[in-house]
């Protein structure tokens, strides 16, 4: 009897070990081992390999000041506050659009304004006070950007972008019945960023510098933003841009500063 009990106990202990060492059922392959990790660990949640788009309608409430040199080699002072610019505005158009995939993006920006009666009578010489001066300006940007840093949540991330592109300018001054126009292309280098505060608020600086066609042009923007939904964003800030362009062939130049508040509403998807 003792021998029988010992044999039964040995068989009972041997069964789990045999089951543990047993391979998969016949006709099946073992599944590869995959380490389970929390979502986002070891991956970049912003590199989703999808295109993301945004379209904005900025309103730059700019004032204008500076000097225009005509072929007659006369300096004509230009000045118009935002309220004066609105009252003398013939037509204006502004727009902005971007597309981004992972860390590379492309953008386009357009600014066009047609103003009348922009002569600064207080600074003009006596011989110029009777002139009627109208100005037209077109700024068009085509650029690419690289997102060097991006973190936080997707709806309101913090990021840093480096910008490379071109900016086209076309300006026209109409003095009485005479028109003088210039057009040129600049190489543009700059950076921009967004510092996020929680899920909805942020600060957005941008600085870029352009040259090649112009002697030197700088453009600075600072905005405070509010992301109020998954697809909508609004900001309020200030923008200043200074252009220095000399055209020796036409003996004319455009040295004008633009500055004023800017409101922007953006839809992204």
Is the distance from CB of 174 to CB of 192 less than 8 angstroms?
Answer: no
Within a domain: 2 = no
**12 bridge partner residues:** none
Residue where the block lists tokens 């080699």: 73
The pLDDT value given to residue 91: 63
Within a domain: 9 = no
Alpha helices (runs of H) in the chain, residue ranges in sequence order: 2-21, 82-87
174 burial level (CB within 10 Å; 0-12, 13-18, 19+): middle
- What is the three-class DSSP state of 184? strand
Most confident segment among 34-48, 92-106, 250-264: 92-106
Task: Tell me the C-alpha distance between 264 and 109, whole Å.
Answer: 13
The more confidently predicted of residues 102 and 87 is: 102
Question: Worst-scoring range by mean pLDDT, 48-57, 82-91, 234-243, 253-262?
Answer: 82-91
Choose among 137, 143, 220: nearest CA to 184. 137
Give pLDDT tens digits for 136-177.
Answer: 889 999 999 999 999 988 889 999 999 999 999 998 777 666
The pLDDT value given to residue 74: 67
pLDDT of 87 higher than 70: no
Token representation of residue 34: 């995959």
Domain of residue 119 covers 52-268
CA-angle at 53, arms to 49 and 57, nearest 5°: 165
Band (pLDDT 50/70/90 cuts) for residue 90 is low
Residue where the block lists tokens 């055209």: 247
pTM: 0.75
Token representation of residue 223: 């905005």
The pLDDT value given to residue 190: 98
pLDDT of 119 higher than 80: no
pLDDT of 98 higher than 80: yes
Is the distance from CB of 138 to CB of 169 less than 8 angstroms?
Answer: yes
Choose among 189, 236, 221, 224: nearest CA to 208. 189
Within a domain: 202 = yes
Within a domain: 203 = yes
Is the distance from CB of 186 to CB of 210 less than 8 angstroms?
Answer: yes
Q: Which residues contact 192 (CB under 8 A, 6 or more apart)?
A: 145, 160, 161, 163, 204, 205, 206, 207, 221
pLDDT of 253 higher than 90: no
Within a domain: 205 = yes
Token representation of residue 13: 């202990």
Average pLDDT, the chain: 79
Mean pLDDT of 100-116: 91
Within a domain: 215 = yes
Band (pLDDT 50/70/90 cuts) for residue 85 is low
**223 bridge partner residues:** 204, 237
Q: How many domains is the chain partitioned into structurally?
A: 1
Give pLDDT tens digits for 29-72.
Answer: 555 554 444 444 445 656 788 999 999 999 898 888 888 776 66
Within a domain: 38 = no
The more confidently predicted of residues 199 and 173 is: 199
Torsion from C-alpha of 123, 125, 126, 127, nearest 10 degrees: -140
- What CATH number has the domain bearing residue 87? 2.40.128.90
DSSP 8-state assignment for residue 118: -
Within a domain: 125 = yes
DSSP 8-state assignment for residue 74: -
């Amino acid at each position: 009897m003792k021998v029988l009990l010992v044999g039964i106990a040995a068989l009972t202990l041997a069964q789990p070990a045999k089951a543990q060492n047993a391979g998969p059922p016949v006709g099946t392959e073992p599944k590869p081992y995959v380490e389970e990790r929390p979502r986002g660990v070891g991956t970049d949640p912003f590199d989703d390999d999808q295109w993301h788009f945004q379209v904005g309608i900025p309103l730059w409430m700019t004032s204008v000041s500076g000097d225009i040199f005509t072929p007659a080699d006369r300096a004509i002072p230009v000045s118009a506050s935002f309220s004066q610019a609105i009252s003398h505005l013939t037509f204006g158009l502004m727009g902005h659009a971007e597309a981004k995939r992972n860390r590379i993006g492309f953008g386009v920006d357009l600014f066009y304004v047609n103003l009348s009666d922009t002569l600064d009578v207080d600074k003009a010489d006596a011989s110029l006070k009777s002139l009627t001066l109208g100005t037209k300006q077109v700024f068009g940007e085509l650029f690419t950007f690289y997102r060097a840093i991006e973190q936080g949540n997707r709806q309101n991330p913090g990021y840093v972008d480096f910008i490379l592109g071109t900016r086209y300018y076309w300006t026209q001054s109409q003095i009485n019945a005479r028109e003088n126009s210039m057009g040129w292309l600049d190489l543009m280098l700059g950076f921009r960023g967004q510092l996020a505060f929680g899920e909805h608020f942020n600060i957005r600086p941008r600085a870029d510098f352009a040259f090649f066609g112009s002697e030197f042009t700088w453009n600075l923007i600072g905005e405070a933003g509010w992301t109020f939904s998954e697809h909508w964003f609004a900001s309020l800030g200030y923008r200043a841009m200074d252009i220095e362009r000399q055209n020796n062939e036409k003996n004319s130049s455009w040295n004008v500063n633009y500055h004023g508040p800017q409101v922007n509403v953006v839809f992204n998807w």
